[in-house]
Structure 1
């Protein structure tokens, strides 16, 4: 507990910010009609993190989770068929890798919000998600930003 806020809530706010930024980066993407709703709904679920027991928020989290799964599978199939980078590639210069990572982060976040676990596990899970997501994003912008492929 940090000043009345749990680790889970603070991390949810950080993830909401990251997903909101991700949604705004999709404005010039050719398939933005898929990604903006995914990131926007993930932003909403993470923003109302204290109200995750509300039925509407849980439904939105479930829909967001399944949209993330569908997009991850779509990307994996396209990648496999076109031989772009491979399923386990972490070459952040490739758009397919960034999109798979983004859908994976949304899926992970929604899993934590739809939890049936102890608060301590949720805190550690969300903290790990924040560290990994912000770490990867920072590394991408510092190391690969100039070499990015669209």
Structure 2
């Protein structure tokens, strides 16, 4: 059985939900908006976890994780072959770098939500933070 989320987790989820909702809103003028709006809206919905049920949240998290991985690799290939900029570039003036960071943040967030909502009791759920 899953434990009750802490206040810090709830606050972080709310902040990430706002970030992903804003990211979806600014994608409307992007030429490939149809790829990015579903990614950011599903990530926003997963982070608003108190509104949706656990099974729906896991499905949305899996969807966001898979789409995020696909778009991350798409952007990495595009960056390597067409732009030629470095892999570790953090120049946010480039569209490719912004898309790479956005999809990477979604993948990490969805992975963490999938881990926290897993019903199996694993070692990650029993971490003692020494408090």
Provide TM-score, normalisation by structure 1: 0.71
Q: 2:54 maps to which residue?
A: 54
In 2: Cα distance, 1:120 partner to 1:10 partner: 20
What is the CA-CA distance between 1:54 and the residue it aligns to?
1.2
d(CA) in 2 for partners of 1:26, 1:40 = 11
Unaligned runs of 5+ in 1: 122-150
Q: What secondary structure sits across from 2:115 in the alignment?
A: coil
Instruction: Using the TM superposition, give the Cα deviation of residue 17 of structure 1 relative to its aligned residue in structure 2, in angstroms.
Output: 0.2
Alpha-carbon RMSD across the aligned residues, in angstroms, is: 2.1
| Distance across 2 between alignment mates of 1:73 and 1:34 | 13
The alpha carbon displacement at 1:120 in A equals: 6.2
Do the aligned residues in 2 keep the contact of 1:52 with 1:58 (CA within 8 Å)? no
Structure 2 partner of 1:94: 94
Structure 2-normalised TM-score? Answer: 0.81
How many residues are treated as equivalent by the alignment?
A: 117
- Rounded to whole Å, the distance in 1 between the matches of 2:6 and 2:126 is 13
Q: How does 1:11-90 map to 2 (within 5 A)?
A: 11-48=12-49, 50=50, 54-90=54-90
Secondary structure in structure 1 of the residue aligned to 2:59? helix
Shift of 1:84: 3.8
Structure 1 distance, partners of 2:79, 2:127, is 37
Q: Go from structure 1 to structure 2 and tell me whether the alpha carbon gap of 1:15 and 1:66 turns closer, same or farther (over 3 Å shift).
A: same
User: Which protein has the larger Cα radius of gyration, Structure 1 or Structure 2?
Assistant: 2
Please name the residue that 2:104 is paired with. Answer: 104
Instruction: Identify, as 1 or 2, the structure richer in helix.
Output: 1
